Amino acid sequence: MKKISKKNRKFIWKNKKLFIKKRKLKSKKKLSLSSRFYKSLIILIFAFMISLNYPSKDININTNVNANINSKEIIEDNKYYFNETIFEVAEKSKEFFRLTNDGILLNKIPEEMSKEPKFSVVVPVFSVEKWIKRTIRSAQNQNFTDIEIVLIDDFSKDNSLKIMEEMSKEDPRIKLIKNNENKGTLYSRCIGALMSKGKYILPMDSDDMFLNTDFFYILNQEVEKMDVDIIKYRAIMSNNYLNPLNKRAIKVNPPGLKENKVLYQPELGIFGDKFCVLWIHCIRTEFYKEKINLYGKMNNYANFLEDCIMHFILYQTAKSLKLFLKLGYLHIGRPLSSSRISNKTEIIKAKILQFEAEFDFAKYTTITRDISVKNIIEQMKLNEFPEILKDNKTKNYIIDFMKRVIANKNITNESRESIIQECLKFNLHY
């Protein structure tokens, strides 16, 4: 056998190492190409599956988004709506939000509206062209269809009215009312309520939406159980108007509700000191109209555009209220919301009217008349207060209110003397 020299041995070993290295690199390259191919294939398959389930914006869908959950099962099994966490409800509502936000109609529109629908959804609208279609669709997409949708255009400056006119032509359940000038949220809501034909009214803001297709169905089951003046349900509140169901952006309103129960006066009046919004309520129409006609005309509350005033009146005069744990509404905070008053003189007007309502209904509340007087004096001490007195109508209104406060026998002499001193500063002849 021929011996291999040291020099040749080194050369062979060196080439062998190089060969092994090249082979490893080649196999790695093959593996890399193979894994990339399979990854791409998986992504393509996943995208194709999503495209099958994602409907086009132009298609009307007549199926329930939550097809795997039967509405009757939801009623029978309380865990679906009593013990759900806010995050479970938000997750379940994402698909409904996406479709509704895209303006997709999920249900077939009835050919005609019932003469006496069960629910009237009342929506005051002012320049919300980006959101109004979503708001209306969330009511149209409910499985329970015995409703009407009352829209009050408060002299919008954008295309809101045009959008509502087009939608009202497609759906006989939509009733459109037009204000000939900007009247404000509460006035518009009161007009809409007075024009409603439903047995119950659901006040709604024009940039919010109802959650899921089954909310009206469940609410109808609840009102059938007992005839109360008001049902108060819960809402998801979000400060993220681009992605409102994001876990970091949501909270529950009202947060303190822990059980379904019925309240009666005076407990109901005291409870009404809190959470002064109308959009989480189902209100018996006959009762609502009665209060608008009585207090709206007599005390002028309804002319001053603050939902909390009407909320306060309803709570102090209702005989019964049902607290209902169902999360059925999504309230979305957004920049420059029409519900936010930026003019400080308007805020002072609204505050004084709120304190007047508290003063008149003090026997029902935890707020005494002396506290109301103190609150009024604080508003009168603000630098902007003289500005609201430049309007004679407002000035005369405040003078009449001050006369009632000073003549009231249920305030202390100290409170009476304090309000008299403030009136003298502004020549308010009480």
- 377-390 pLDDT, tens digit per residue, is 999 999 989 998 99
User: Which of these, 202, 161, 393, 385, lies nearest to 285 by C-alpha position?
Assistant: 202
Q: Same domain for 362 and 387? A: yes
Note the pLDDT of residue 352: 83
Is residue 249 situated within a structural domain?
A: yes
Helix ranges, 141-274 (H): 160-170, 185-194, 215-225, 267-271
Q: Map 300-337 to HEC letters.
A: CHHHCCCHHHHHHHHHHHCCEEEEEEEEEEEEECCCCC
Q: Same domain for 240 and 298? A: yes
Q: Same domain for 326 and 361? A: no
Q: Same domain for 228 and 105? A: yes
Q: Same domain for 244 and 361? A: no
Is residue 109 situated within a structural domain?
A: yes
Tokens for 52?
Answer: 């099958």
Q: Point out the domain boundary residue: 283, 306, 332.
A: 332
Q: Point out the domain boundary residue: 283, 312, 332.
A: 332
Which CATH number characterizes residue 139's domain?
Answer: 3.90.550.10
Averaged pLDDT of the chain: 81
Q: Which of 246-250, 266-270, 374-378 has the lowest mean pLDDT?
A: 266-270
Residue 192 predicted with pLDDT over 70 = yes
Q: Same domain for 97 and 210? A: yes
Q: Same domain for 319 and 348? A: no
Q: Same domain for 159 and 237? A: yes
Separation between Cα atoms, residue 384 and residue 345, nearest integer Å:
6
Q: Same domain for 254 and 315? A: yes
Q: Same domain for 208 and 355? A: no
Q: What range defines the domain where residue 111 resides?
A: 71-332
Dump pLDDT digits (tens) for 202-215: 999 999 999 999 99
Are the C-beta atoms of residues 273 and 198 closer than 8 Å to each other?
A: no
Dump pLDDT digits (tens) for 210-241: 999 999 999 999 999 989 999 999 999 998 98
Q: Same domain for 394 and 265? A: no
Dump pLDDT digits (tens) for 176-186: 999 999 888 88
Is residue 206 situated within a structural domain?
A: yes
Is residue 231 situated within a structural domain?
A: yes
Which residues lie across from 178 on neighbouring strands?
153
Is residue 64 situated within a structural domain?
A: no
Is residue 337 situated within a structural domain?
A: no
Question: Could you give the number of structural domains in the chain?
Answer: 2
Note the pLDDT of residue 85: 86
Task: Give me the percent of the chain exceeding a pLDDT of 70.
Answer: 75
Is residue 35 situated within a structural domain?
A: no
Q: Point out the domain boundary residue: 307, 332, 357.
A: 332
**Global model pTM greater than 0.85:** no
